[in-house]
Structure 1
Amino acid sequence: MAKAYAAIKGGPLAPNINGGVYFMDVPGGTHVCVMVNGLPSYKPATANSQPIGPHGFHIHEFGNCTVGDPKDPFKAVGNHWNPTKQPHGNHAGDFPVLFSNAGTSMMCFFTNKFKVRDIIGKSVVIHENPDDYRTQPAGNSGKKLACGVIREM
């Protein structure tokens, strides 16, 4: 049974984020579990700003969590991972949003869109804003707060 893990670390916009994402092959797909701490608290949208949280959560194309521009970090991860060229909301890398509960989020879910071998070397990213699952190509989920490279266990 294949397993993988991504150690999540916050970047300059949310340096307190840390945690991990586990991936495990199961019949018909992959079981995914995330546990992170240090997430920013929810702030509703205003006329001039997007909300902060719930947080978009995705697999991105490349396993490069280099910060780069501290005001717009982690650009080297590329786009959402989308091997079957689906419209947004149905990308293989589209995950449920993360809710911050006093900075912590824990969640497990099943996906039939990939097996562990398909995602080794890609990255997991936590975004500032909730994913709307319809805006193309990336769901209007805002800046990247944290990143981790997926590695085989």
Structure 2
Amino acid sequence: MARIVTIAVFAVAASASMAFAQDKQTAVANFVGEDGKENGRAMLTAAANGGLLIELEVSGLPANRWVGFHVHEVGKCDAATHHESAGKHFNPTQAEHGILTAKGPHAGDMPNQYVGQDGVLRAQVFDGMVSLDDKKDGIRGRALMIHANSDDYRSQPAGDAGARLACGVVE
């Protein structure tokens, strides 16, 4: 399956643009930070020809840096375990990690995202390798994760992206 990843930064008012009617084609992930407090939200929308558009706004992150952004296999975001409860990257095809590897990427790989001077990550990301509810590549019930460092797109098994700063279960 071809994978096209599009990144665009956007500014939104969280309460206005993040509200929508949830159905089979949409999902929400409410992020919690390292302190266990809610710090953002992602809206996921199924694309007509496959894949998902993920729109997110997450605050309380280190300012002025690129951070890793992945899908993790377990839908559990326990701050007491530093979000280790979310397990490994979602990888239903057992591909290598990394957009720049010959045998990758896997479904949980997404491009790094930039956190602005205000400590808020605002982005739109398209992942063509996942869906919401398909038995093989569905991510409803799994976790979205923001890491402390940028993904190097090569290191196995997780891109050397560092600590898990914010986690949201796709509901």
Q: Give TM class, smaller chain.
A: 0.7 to 0.9
What TM-score comes out, normalization by structure 1 length? 0.82
What root-mean-square deviation, in Å, do the aligned CA atoms of Structure 1 and Structure 2 show?
A: 1.7
Structure 2 residue 37 is the aligned partner of structure 1 residue 25: no
Structure 2 residue 114 is the aligned partner of structure 1 residue 91: no
Shift of the 76–111 alpha-carbon distance from structure 1 to 2, 3 Å rule, reads: same
> 1:110 offset after TM fit, Å?
1.9
Structure 2 unaligned blocks of 5 or more: 1-23, 99-104
- In the other structure, the counterpart of 1:6 is 29
Structure 2 residue 80 is the aligned partner of structure 1 residue 80: no
- In the other structure, the counterpart of 2:57 is 35
In the TM superposition, what whole-angstrom CA distance separates every residue of 1:6-46 from its partner, at most 9, and x where no partner exists?
A: 0011114xx7871111111112221111111221124xxxx
Structure 2 residue 168 is the aligned partner of structure 1 residue 148: yes
4+ residue runs over 6 A deviation: none
Structure 1 unaligned blocks of 5 or more: 43-52
What TM-score comes out, normalization by structure 2 length? 0.74
SS in 2 for 1:135: coil
> 2:77–2:83: 8 Å Cα contact kept in structure 1?
yes
> 1:60–1:79: 8 Å Cα contact kept in structure 2?
yes
Q: Distance in 1 between matches of 2:150 and 2:107?
A: 17
> 1:76 offset after TM fit, Å?
1.1
In the TM superposition, what whole-angstrom CA distance separates every residue of 1:44-86 from its partner, at most 9, and x where no partner exists?
A: xxxxxxxxx31111110001111234xxx11111101011111
Identity, % of aligned pairs? 37
Q: 1:105 aligns with which of 121, 125, 134?
A: 121
Q: How many residues are matched?
A: 136
**Counterpart code for 2:131:** K
Q: Distance in 1 between matches of 2:125 and 2:148?
A: 21
